[in-house]
Amino acid sequence: MDNNSIGIIVGSAFQLDMLRGLSASPIDINTPFGPWTLYRVELRERNAYISFRHGFPHHFLPHQIPYRAQTWAFHFVQCQALLVTSSVGVLDPSLPLFQPLLLQDIMTVDNRLPDGSTCTMFTEPSPDHAHLVLKEGLISKGLTQQLYTIVAPHHNDVPTDVVFGYVGGPRTKTKAENKMWRRFGAQVNSMTLAPEIILANEMEIPCCSAVVGHKYSVPEINEPEDEHSVTESFELSRDALGRVVRGFISEIKPVPFGNHMYRYQEKTPG
């Protein structure tokens, strides 16, 4: 497989026609956690692999996504840099809607997948299992800096230090829950994304993330009033997301993995 491929995880807002001139072909991959399909974009110097987290066409609700299978598929194609995207609710009124927000950190209540199991690729004892020791953090600073240079020419004052709160679906959050997340320090939240970044780090894949707010999830700002308003907000988010994905595919360069996988069989000093 490729030794310098890159990957992108997209949600419901993304469509293949947003690639604008780049063709993508499905690649079915059998993983220890079940089958998964990536869409390969063949480039001159490398390949890019796109994953539709909800399936293509959409058929997985957030709690039904086979996160481990998706992650193993990126590991199989030797992904060296992963962009994880999502539409999000915005908890910080100072952040803009409909433009990319770059994540700096992630918050979860518990390190678990929607089925209640621990959010890890190491489901059984094995010689390869390890602790993920965060040195740089779950988000790669090197990839985020590159992502900023891709996004900044199209938007003014792109935030690069946004904190994401992971709230599993499939239902949306109550007003009280959004207030709680805001007090905890989360500036945006959604039902996906965090498990993907955590699992990719366990496979030593550097990650960055661009999210787009499609609504404010705070009581002092009114929500879209009708279905037409909601649909329009998703369209605006889709345009911004398309530019990010195309830029990542054409310009990003892999960086070294900034964290450490500690295995007990490693020799320690002394």
Q: What is the pLDDT of residues 132-174, one digit of tens each?
A: 999 999 999 999 999 999 999 988 899 999 999 999 999 999 9
Strands 162-166 and 100-107: parallel
**Mean predicted lDDT score pLDDT of the chain:** 91
Say which range, 19-28, 72-81, 161-170, 231-240, has the weakest mean pLDDT: 231-240
Per-residue pLDDT at 270 exceeds 70: no
pLDDT band at 227 (very low <50, low <70, confident <90, very high): very low
Residue 148: count other Cβ atoms within 10 Å of its Cβ: 16
Tokens 């960086």 correspond to 255
**pLDDT, position 208:** 98
pLDDT score, position 265: 75
The alpha helices in 80-219, defined as continuous H runs, are: 141-151, 175-184, 194-202
Range of the domain at 32: 5-261
Q: Which residue would you say has higher pLDDT here, 239 or 32?
A: 32
Q: Which of 186, 260, 250, 216 is nearest to 21 (CA)?
A: 250
Residue 27 lies in a domain: yes
Q: Cα(256)–Cα(64) distance, rounded to whole angstroms?
A: 32
d(CA 79, CA 206): 9
CATH code at 118? 3.40.50.1580
pLDDT at 221 over 80: no
- Mean pLDDT is lowest, of 11-15, 88-92, 177-181, 227-231, for 227-231
Question: CA dihedral in degrees (244, 245, 249, 253; nearest 10)?
Answer: 50
In a domain? residue 267: no
Residue 149 lies in a domain: yes
pLDDT of residue 19: 85
Residue 218 in any domain: the answer is: yes
d(CA 123, CA 152): 40
Q: Is the pLDDT score of 1 beyond 60?
A: no
**What was the pLDDT predicted at 219?**
73
Q: Residue range 13-19: average pLDDT?
A: 81
* Res. 105: pLDDT tops 80: yes
Mean pLDDT score, 195-219: 95
User: Does a structural domain hold residue 269?
Assistant: no
Q: Distances in Å between the alpha carbon of 184 and those of 108, 136, 170, 175, 198?
A: 10, 22, 22, 14, 20
Q: Does some domain include residue 266?
A: no
Question: For residues 141 and 231, which has the higher predicted lDDT (pLDDT)?
Answer: 141
3-class SS at 164?
strand
Asked whether residue 222 carries a pLDDT value surpassing 90, the answer given is no
Check pLDDT > 80 for residue 11: yes
- How many folded domains does the chain comprise? 1
| In a domain? residue 104 | yes
Does residue 165 lie in a domain region?
Answer: yes
Average pLDDT over residues 177-193: 96
- Tell whether the model's pLDDT for residue 228 goes beyond 50: no
| Model pLDDT, residue 224 | 53
